[in-house]
Amino acid sequence: MSWKTTTHPLFDKEHLAAYCSEHNIPAFRIKQIMHGVFGDHHIDINEITTLSKELRAQLNASFHINTLKVENIVEWPESTKFLFSMPDETMIETVLMYHWHEKKSFKTRQRKILRSWTKPDISSETHTLNRITICISSQVWCAVWCIFCVTWKLWFKKNLDWSEMLMQIQYANNYIKQKFGKKDDGTRRKVRNVVFMGMGEPMFNYEHMKKSITYMLDQQALWLSKRHITISTSWVANAIRQLVDDKIDVRLALSLHAPNQPLRLELIPMIAKKRPLDELMETIDYYVKKTWNRLFYEYIMIQNKTDTPEIAHELGQLLQKRNAHVNLIPYNENPAMPELTTSEFDVIMAFKKIVEQYWVTVTVRDTLWRDVKWACGQLGYEKVEEGL
């Protein structure tokens, strides 16, 4: 059975201010409410005990903090995955990623995650929690047909609104509060980095994405650094130009995956057909010129398809005069494309060395979440696997 809500997000500052004015509620209550939601990480109005019972009851009649319902939570030492259902019964997935650092006494241990494809041995005795990243969804499923990604196989359902993007972070912060408690200095642990890398193409949902970012940067809301917010996109050119014009100065990651148009048409046919590679590079140059920001390029490593030495030279030549940082992402298993396999470790490292010859910074992405199907391109894995 579906459920509906006719209330408004309590953290909608404009609507809340209008409501307080209409009902003669002192303006200082707005600050208390915003702190309760974003500072104390409450997801239920009744938890904000700095407000009177009467006021909480009044607000409950017209507002909500979070309408996401948790259908499933799966834990792993370095991450947590949430399956949320929404009022119209559609589903999204959100992933928390915990960045653990080895304690000094254990610094002699060398991580060989990529080489061995094994999970790291993490415990409170050997590691300390350094920061937390959340991977949020911007759409229900996805409209971009990347052949190496699971999510598009479920077909696009709808855009999320700005409040639903924030609700994923709110729920995560409430969860973190209960899971980890406070730091040694008494401050609350919370999400530090937000990446629009979950389900959906955020640039196809530009206006709502933009509004959610304003709340992420707002000192009365999440108050994140602009350097701790990343938009991952397959490159919607008009939206990128709009991002520049709107002065949304956050990090940008481009899902490039191919240094030539024919290969890009094979891997990302819809986007590549609408936006040829030369047009994309023109937009990239415009973005970098206007913002002076370094661009991050996501590049998938698929055996005998994207990982050859010839393609490595092409990628280096394409990016050598651009302010680029390339992330090489080992392909993660996709039940819809069983014929694709990930590149071998030695091949990836040889590819990296070639690209670096062109004075391009290159890193290799860890494969920490592939075993539990939470890695890049795997959200919705179980749903797709059921239908095959």
Q: Could you count the other beta carbons within 10 Å of the beta carbon of residue 204?
A: 18
Q: Are 159 and 139 in contact (CB under 8 A)?
A: yes
Which residues partner with 82 through β-bridges? Answer: 73, 94
**DSSP tag of 376:** T
- The residue count of the chain comes to 388
| CA distance linking residue 335 with residue 380, whole number of Å | 11
For 137-191, the three-class secondary structure string (H helix, E strand, C coil) is: CCEECCCCCCCCCCHHHHCCCEECCHHHHHHHHHHHHHHHHHHHCECCCCCECCC
Query: Residue 95 is which amino acid?
Result: V
Please pick, among 135, 142, 146, 376, the residue that the annotation labels catalytic: 376
Query: Who contacts 27 (Cβ-Cβ below 8 Å, separation ≥6)?
Result: 17, 20
Query: Who contacts 24 (Cβ-Cβ below 8 Å, separation ≥6)?
Result: none
The separation between the first and the last C-alpha atoms of the chain, rounded to the nearest angstrom, is 26
Would the CA dihedral through 300, 303, 309, 310 be positive or negative?
negative
Q: Could you count the other beta carbons within 10 Å of the beta carbon of residue 125?
A: 8
Which residues partner with 81 through β-bridges? Answer: 74, 95
Q: Could you count the other beta carbons within 10 Å of the beta carbon of residue 341?
A: 13
Please pick, among 71, 78, 93, 142, the residue that the annotation labels catalytic: 93
| CA distance linking residue 251 with residue 295, whole number of Å | 7
93 among known catalytic residues:
yes
Report which of 125, 135, 33 is spatially closest to residue 80, judged by C-alpha positions.
135
| CA distance linking residue 8 with residue 15, whole number of Å | 8
Structure tokens at 222: 């999440």
Residues with a catalytic annotation lie at 93, 376
